[in-house]
Amino acid sequence: MAKSNQPTVVGRGLGGELRGLREAKKLGLRRVAARLDWQASKLSRMETGIQGIRAEDVASLLVIYGVTGDERRRLLGMAERSAESGWWEVIGGLSDESRTLIRLEAEATSVVNWQPLLIPGLLQTADYTQVLMRDGGVEEPDAQSRVAARLGRQAVLTRPQPPELLAIVDEMVLRRVLGSPRLMARQLRHLIEATERPNITLRVVPFAVGGHPGLDGGFALFDFPRNKSVVYLDQKISGLFLEEAPQVAFFRREAERLGAVALSPTESVDFVARVATEHERE
């Protein structure tokens, strides 16, 4: 049976690597925790991704596990990233799927995000997100929590070693007015500004293409330096994570098919600018 459950994905990343190091040394969880004067539950939460992991705690564990050199620097680097600091743990109203998504974005080296209906979350303005939450029927204070989390997620794009983001959107995303034409114009100008960063590429699938492979829903494909790739499907009240090789390969082919019919990056930016001007004139 294919494994698509969240716990498999949660057990990845920094916490999963630390657990692997402990198991390789054949050390019990309670034994390690006792050596550091921790509760065993603390180490368990760190290894399963439920709790953020401080660089100081990682350094202590690496001493016990005998990890030195480049590997030690790599793992400490993961812990020192602002996105790895566990900021999302203090934000209420987030689902387990949302917290897992934030961790995956923090660990990824590249992200391909196809969106047929909405601006990708990593590229939304605060105003756009707020209107999206309101129109989606999300009640306060959950709406503000989600807005804060979405804006916090975007920090991964400007960190010293950010992931490569390929955002592919349908023309409908640009033309659907949320809030007001002026708000949409600002959102589209924000998209254009984002593409000035070398790690962000925007592609638009225009109406002229007609039918295409992405009409049945959006997805995000994450690649990592060591762990296997993951696909995330965002649904109305939950999210689904897929990590089996055939599943990931299917969505990678879908991304390639969408890229084949999308405008080039330069054409896409010009197209977005034209639509933004249209909104500004309304």
Cβ neighbors of 247 (< 8 A, separation 6 or more) are 2, 4, 231
pLDDT per residue as tens digits for the range 80-91: 764 444 555 545
pLDDT single digits (tens) 215-265: 989 999 999 887 789 999 987 667 789 989 999 999 999 999 999 999 999
The pTM score is 0.76
Query: CB neighbours (10 Å) of residue 272?
Result: 23
202: phi > 0 → left, psi -120 to 50 → alpha, else beta; which? Answer: beta
**3-class SS of residue 53:** coil
Helix (H, G, I), strand (E, B) or coil at 221: strand
pLDDT at 132 over 80: yes
**How far is residue 170 CA from its own chain's centroid?**
20
Classify 185 as helix, strand or coil. Answer: helix
pLDDT classification of 7: cutoffs 50, 70, 90: very low
Using alpha carbons, list the distances in angstroms from residue 228 to 73, 74, 89, 225: 22, 18, 25, 8
